[in-house]
Structure formats: C-alpha cells, structure tokens
A and B are shown apart, each in its own frame.
Chain A
Amino acid sequence: MSVVIENLSFTYMPGTPYEKRALQDITLSIREGEFVGLIGATGSGKSTLIQHINGLVKLQSGKLRVFGIDLSARKIDYKLLRKGIGMLFQYPEYQLFDETVLRDVMFGPKNFGMSEAHAYESAKRAIELAGLSFDEIKDRSPFELSGGQKRRVAIAGVLAYNPEILILDEPTAGLDPVGKRDILELITKLKGGAIKTIIMISHNMDEIAAYTDRIIVLDSSRLVYDLTPAELFEKKDELPALGLDLPTTVKIKNLLAEKGFHITEPALDIASLYAQIISKLGGRHE
C-alpha cells in the first residue's frame, strides 16, 4: 500500500472564531501502481488532503501511513517521507529559480544529500525522462523556455530524486491543447516505468476520465465517492449537484441515449465513444 488513511479529520484554526473544517472522517487507501484522480469543487478539501500525505500539515485525528511511515508517530522522518513524494504544485514553472536548467533540476537531489556527481547523473536522466534533450537544454535559463518546456523542467526537478509517488495539482492548467496532451502523455509514460503511483488533481473531467484508474471525489470536506471512472460518470444526476461536470464524451453518450441511440460500454475517451458509434451505425463506409 502506498497510502493508507483512516478516519482522518482536520480543522483549520480550531477553537478560534475562524475555525473551519477541511476534512471529516476520510478513509481510503491507494495501492502501489494506481493512477488516482482527486476531484471536487474549490474548497472541498483536496489540497488539505494532499498536504497531509506530504506531511505539510500536522495530523489532528485519525491515522495516516505513507509507504510505511506512520504520520501519527511522535517522531517522523520527514526527509524520508518527502523524498518519496514528488509534489508538483499548480503552475510549477513559477517555482523554477536557478540560472540554468541543469542546476535547477539538480537542486532537489542535492538537497536530499546526493553527491554532486550523483545529482548530475540523476538530473540528466530526469531531464530526458521529461522528454527534453539534455545537451540542448541543460545550460539554458529556465526563464527563456516556452510554457510547455518550463513545465517539463519542473517535472524533471521532481523526478530527479526518484520519488515513489507523484502528486500533480492541475498539471495541464494554462497550457495550449498540444501542451496539455504532451504533458498527459508524459505522465502516462512515467507511470509505466519511473513512477509507481500517481495522484492527480484536476478540474478537467475529460482528462480525469481518460487517464485515471480510480477517482476520489470530495465534497465540503467529506469523501463522497471512491469509484472507477466508468462507475463514477454514470452518476449523471448526482455529479452536477457537487459542482462537477461530466466528461464531454459521456455527455454525448447520454444525449444519444435520450434520443434512443443506446451505447452500452463506458465512453471515457473519444476513441471508445467513436468505436461504439461506428459499430452501431454499421461500420465504416468506403
């Protein structure tokens, strides 16, 4: 198990007039190798949950274990915890800071105690994993790169210290369509190799439906659904009430059903929707 959460609750500024419940009685576990989507309206508790996994907020009640580290213990090895988690915040390119791409990517591994030579090798591998050419980009300033390239450098900075879990907060926000697709394909590729477990926060239901294995839905600090994409997006009446949209392909499937054109399998991406439409229409015309 990568993450095990039991009856976790959290309140900001307890005992003050500003007291605010952020999480109530959350129980869930994430297995190694899963690609989990975390969704919910703004203010539903997604960020607070992520901050718990990363040890950025102190546990108030409940249990939390992240790859074996007990976060309710009196002494916690935060360095070991954070080395195991690659956290990519929203607009991660704003966190690039060093003079060259290489130095920026080497910062993480060096900070976790790797030697200069080892950090160099790690950075080289990470930059290439992120789909960039090491020789072309290593001496350039991160600030003169394109939006998509900057985001890849930020991802490389996280990959460079070999985390076990990658947490992505809105990884495609602000990118153009090709940039979005490139980043999602990169994430999918990483999942098969360099990274075992991925947690992705996104407001884009098309992305969540097409890429994740399982979806956790938060609403006003509670966990309301923990389902596969196919199961979750059948709840066409419940999701809008939570401020959530349906994926476009599922909307099309539902509209077709209203008109008597019934598709039986889930339609979580364009390819699967299209294949079903075509087969029902009787195949391709020449």
Chain B
Amino acid sequence: MKSVIELKNVHYSYKSGNDESTVGVKNIDLDIKQGEFVVLLGHNGSGKSTLAKLFNGFLLPDVGDVIVNGINTKEEKRIFEIRSKVGMVFQNPDNQMVASIIEDDIAFGAENLGIERNEIIRRVDWALSAVGMLEHKKHTPFKLSGGQKQRIAIAAILAMLPEILILDESTAMLDPKGRKEVLEVVRSLNGQGMTVILITHYMEEAVSADKVYIMNEGEIIDFGTPKQVFGNYKAIIQAKLDMPVASRIAHMLKMDGYAVDDCLTVEELAEEICRLL
C-alpha cells in the first residue's frame, strides 16, 4: 500500500515572546497508508490537533519532515497542492459555514481551487449525495441540526476532491444521533477508498479503526490495532484516557483471575462472560 502521510522524527514547538516555547509534538514517526481509517486519541493538550495541522502544512516542523503524497510540506510552492489533497473538518459546524444557501457553501472551496463551473455543479451534487443531504441543496444551512450541519461541512470538503479526510473532534458538539450520522458518512467514504484520520475523545469511535495512535505530552506513546491498543492498559492510563466499557470489564475479569480475551464491543464481552459459566 502506498504511504499518503509520512512523518520522520518530527518536532514542533509553539513560540511565544522572549524565547520561550511550548512543545507541541516531538519524536513523531508515523506512516499512514492509502485507504486506512486511523484514529488519534489523547487528552486535551496532548498534541493531536498540532499533529493534524502538520499533516496539511498549516504548521511546518522545526525538525524532521512531513511528506504528503510524496510532497514535502516544506516545499512552499506546492503547499496548495497538498492542501487540496488533505481536507479538514473541525469541531464547531457553525464556524465552518460560509454561505447562506447550502449549494453555495459546498461550492466555495472548489471555486477557490479555480475549478470550472460545470464541474463544480457536478461536484456539489455528488458531494451532497455522498453525505445524504442532496434534498437540502437549495435550503439554508442555519436551520439544520448539528449532525446535518457537520455533514454539510464534510460535503464542502469533499467537493474539493481530497484524498485524505481529517476530522478534528468533529463529533464533539453533536448529540448521539448526530454523531452516528457523521460516523456513518465517514465510514462509507472510507469504504470507497478515502483515507480517514479521526481525532476524538470517544473511545467507542476508535473501536472500528484500522490503526489507533495514542498521544501523550506531544509524543506517540502507543499504536496498533484497537485490540492491541486497548489491551495495553498501562499506556491508556498514562495517557489519561479510558478504555471502552467492554474492554474495561474484560480487563477487570482478567485481573480477578478469569481467562478472558480482550474485548472491544459489548457483544464480544457478553460472549466471553457466557463462555466462563
């Protein structure tokens, strides 16, 4: 599989006045392959968003290199090429709306890339269908629910035809229904081959990822499949995270001397417990 984002020994510090600086991320090595569903977990301030901003060249590393689709983000002349490939969706959907009619909002990013008009019209319909919002095309986004607004924000990014979609806590402000809607859209895009990087505080959202990275104090302290990562209790505790409830109960059973396998979902846990009878 082709690498789409590669980081080699990357450091980044935020500079404030009088030569002081705060570490954003350090010693970062990672390799994200085309079509992967990657989840970044970490507490507030652990460096997740800094990492995301390095992925699209919004921030440039102090040390090391960030290679996106074979292009180094330090190549100033090609930065727009990178940004057109890496789409980002943020936390608050209201801050991401630029137009008062949904189709104009979706077209905005693509227009900025200088895409020809007929192609934009085609892309707007395609992007709205992809997030299940085509019937709202001529409406205003302001009366939609949070989940619907966030799907519009995703469609606006899709219209730019990115190869990589980054969601930076994009479900944090949504109710459970809205979160489910957004995740279903993201999973279906991933199913069609799009690389997805999801930054979240909801451990349950990491359960179906291909790969999970755990960040703490600016460093990646663990990575692997969800099973591997949530099986490593020490790293989870160190990163001040939680395990999904099912993983936690399986771990408690193990500590109490029962032979159970690691679990991620409530279904797996129920299986394991019944096996013990």
26 A-B contacts (beta carbon < 8 Å): A43-B145, A91-B173, A146-B44, A147-B45, A173-B172, A174-B172, A174-B173, A175-B201, A176-B240, A177-B241, A178-B43, A178-B241, A203-B176, A206-B245, A243-B177, A252-B269, A252-B270, A255-B269, A256-B270, A261-B274, A274-B249, A277-B249, A277-B253, A281-B277, A284-B256, A285-B258
Residues of B with C-beta under 8 A to A177? 43, 201, 203, 240-242
For residue B267, CB closer than 8 A to chain A, the reply is yes
- Check B273 against A284 for contact (C-beta < 8 Å): no
Residues of B with C-beta under 8 A to A203? 175-176
For residue B235, CB closer than 8 A to chain A, the reply is no
Closest to A205 in B: B176
Q: Besides A173-B173, A252-B269, 4 other CB < 8 A contacts?
A: A177-B43, A177-B241, A277-B273, A285-B257
Partner of A248, one of B245, B253, B257: B245
> Which of B145, B258, B266 has the most chain A CB atoms inside 10 A of its CB?
B266
Partner of B145, one of A42, A178, A255, A270: A42
User: How many Å lie between the Cα of A255 and that of B277 in the bound state?
Assistant: 15
- Check B245 against A179 for contact (C-beta < 8 Å): no
- Check A261 against B266 for contact (C-beta < 8 Å): no
Residues of A with C-beta under 8 A to B177? 41-42, 243
For residue B146, CB closer than 8 A to chain A, the reply is yes
- Check B258 against A260 for contact (C-beta < 8 Å): no
Q: In the complex, how many residues of chain B place their beta carbon closer than 8 angstroms to a beta carbon of chain A? A: 37
For residue A75, CB closer than 8 A to chain B, the reply is no
Partner of B266, one of A146, A251, A274: A251
For residue A207, CB closer than 8 A to chain B, the reply is no
Question: How many A-B residue contacts, CB cutoff 8 Å?
Answer: 95
Q: In the complex, how many residues of chain A place their beta carbon closer than 8 angstroms to a beta carbon of chain B? A: 38
Residues of B with C-beta under 8 A to A179? 43-44
Q: A174-B173, A179-B44, A245-B176 are in contact. Are A270 and B249 (CB under 8 A)?
A: yes
For residue A74, CB closer than 8 A to chain B, the reply is no
For residue B113, CB closer than 8 A to chain A, the reply is no
Partner of B178, one of A42, A91, A285: A42
User: How many Å lie between the Cα of A129 and that of B274 in the bound state?
Assistant: 45
Residues of A with C-beta under 8 A to B252? 274
User: How many Å lie between the Cα of A277 and that of B269 in the bound state?
Assistant: 12
Closest to B277 in A: A261
Residues of B with C-beta under 8 A to A245? 176
Residues of B with C-beta under 8 A to A251? 266
Q: How many whole Å from A208's CB to the nearest CB in chain B? A: 12
Within 8 A of A (CB), among B238-277: 240-242, 245-246, 248-249, 252-253, 256-258, 266-267, 269-271, 273-274, 276-277
Residues of A with C-beta under 8 A to B267? 255
For residue A273, CB closer than 8 A to chain B, the reply is yes
- Check A285 against B176 for contact (C-beta < 8 Å): no
For residue B104, CB closer than 8 A to chain A, the reply is no
User: How many Å lie between the Cα of A285 and that of B146 in the bound state?
Assistant: 48
Q: A42-B145, A176-B44, A177-B242 are in contact. Are A285 and B256 (CB under 8 A)?
A: yes
Q: How many whole Å from A221's CB to the nearest CB in chain B? A: 16
Residues of B with C-beta under 8 A to A261? 270, 273-274, 277
